[in-house]
Amino acid sequence: MRCLFILSFLLITPAVPSFAVADAPLRVQDLSVSNGTISTGNPSTLTYPWGPNDFTTALLRQGRVPFAQKACFVNAVQMLAGQAAEDFYGRMRSPRMTFTSHEHPELAIIVMGVTPTDRIRRRYAFWGVARMMNHLVWHNDFRNSTFQLNYRDRPVGQIYIGPVPTSLPETAAKTAFVEPPSIKQLVPTAISNETEMLSWQYEYFGHSLAMNEVLMGTVGALVVAARPAPDNKVSYFVAGFSPYRAVHHWASSPGRPPPFTYSMLIKSIQATAMHALDQMDFHELGVRVTNGVQEVGWGGYVRDPALNTANYLLPLSSFRF
């Protein structure tokens, strides 16, 4: 058994969802570390999952076909995790991309440019999915919907979520998610590619959270984690989606392990959310990340216990293994 660091950070959180800058979760470059605690830098430079104030969304159309909340979360998390490995500031690979999952092939997220040849900027898709998910969850209204995305009062794209359309234009690109394997609690399981092999060990502890809180915190963490280059090294990472209570905390392992990169972080955030959904257990969760040989990072998510307090230091429970 060993006790990892106890982290603290400063947040400003409202009682209802808001798209104000003050709701921003923290990004790693705005943090300073001292005596095992994390404190904020300049709050005016914080990043946040729903984009800047001049990025807006509007519900364009809504149908009557309901879909499962769990399927919605699976598809959204896996879409964001898959796209997070791409250039956050670049454009999507096709003017119209359809994302489905192996587990829920009946449900699609479709990202579209404003014209048949326009490829939407990827950051607009990230911010749009974050706002779309907030709308669906906050209103508890999971029906086929299309959202228009605007930047500086100009349309920049659309996002549809709902049943897979019966036909797609020939120009549409369809992407099936590659899902992480089913991972049992505290049993290392590997997922590999050409450059890295990762395995995760999990331990539930502490408070129970709602599924909405865990998955929306995951959505926020993935949007924030997508900004740096995938091969950048992670020192400390703290992000969530205010006012949802689950906050992701991750760090590279102490000592001199192999680097814990943002690519590894993104895979770990995704695998952690899929594990919680697989177990349908949403207690606070500690995670150890190994590269098949040795530990490279650790983290998980914890409950924010002071949601409606304007200014506070959040003490986090220890992750124990």
The domains of the chain are located at 10-48+181-313, 55-176
- Per-residue pLDDT 10s for the chain (321 aa) are 333 332 332 232 222 232 222 223 333 333 333 333 333 333 323 357 888 989 999 999 999 999 999 999 999 999 999 999 899 999 999 999 999 999 999 999 999 999 999 999 999 999 999 999 999 999 999 999 999 999 999 999 999 999 998 765 433 444 444 333 322 222 333 333 334 689 999 999 989 999 999 999 999 999 999 999 999 999 999 999 988 999 999 999 988 778 999 999 999 999 999 999 999 999 999 999 999 889 999 999 999 865 432 222 333 333 332
Matching residue, tokens 């307090």: 309
Matching residue, tokens 């865990």: 214
Q: In angstroms, rounded to a whole number, what is the distance separating the alpha carbons of residues 319 and 236?
A: 15
DSSP codes, 157-199: EEEEEEEPPS---TT-EEEE--PPPP--TT---EEE-SS-EEE
Torsion, Cα of 253, 256, 258, 260 (10° steps): 30
**Which amino acid is located at 113 in the chain?**
G
In the sheet that holds 143-151, the strands lie side by side as 55-66, 143-151, 154-163, 107-112, 96-100, 173-176
- DSSP bridge pairs for 176: 100
Amino acid 166: pLDDT = 75
- DSSP bridge pairs for 10: 313
How do residues 206-237 score in pLDDT, each as one tens digit? 899 999 999 999 999 999 999 999 999 999 99
Q: What is the pTM of this model?
A: 0.77
Task: State the helix-helix crossing angle for 122-138 and 211-225, rounded to 10 degrees.
Answer: 170
Q: What do you get for the CA distance between the two ends of the chain, in Å?
A: 5
Q: In angstroms, rounded to a whole number, what is the distance separating the alpha carbons of residues 229 and 104?
A: 30
How do residues 262-297 score in pLDDT, each as one tens digit? 999 999 999 999 999 999 999 999 999 999 889 999
The DSSP output letter for 3 is B
Task: Tally Cβ neighbours within 10 Å of residue 78.
Answer: 27
Torsion, Cα of 189, 240, 17, 22 (10° steps): -170
Amino acid 12: pLDDT = 25
